[in-house]
Amino acid sequence: MNIYALEGHKVKVTKDTFNHGCDSDKEKMKQYCEINKEFTVNYTIVGSWDTRVYLKEFPGIDFNVVNFEDVIEQSEDDDKLHDNWHYYNEDN
């Protein structure tokens, strides 16, 4: 999924993405998510090592972005609206 997904962006879990990530990511997926179900992004926190996504359906619980796919691609212009985009995409 797009690590710069904005609030309201739709993502889903697929058969392929369900088992991505480390063991704790896989356990979280088993506990909370269903394959092919759509979820709504609340926000993402982009890190240099990994990116976490918070979904409106599960307040306060973070997931690894590798477990999701975008339902509809977000535009590059919208990516630039994300709080973390400039930190990782412009020369400092």
Question: In this structure, are residues 87 and 79 in contact, taking their beta carbons and an 8 Å threshold?
Answer: no
Give 7-20 pLDDT, tens digit per residue.
999 999 999 999 99
Question: What are the pLDDT digits (tens) for 17-34?
Answer: 999 999 999 999 999 999
- Contact present, 36 and 14 (Cβ < 8 Å): yes
User: Phi and psi for 86 in degrees, rounded to 5?
Assistant: -65, -35
CA pair distance 25, 18, nearest whole angstrom: 9
Report field, pTM of the whole predicted structure over 0.85: yes
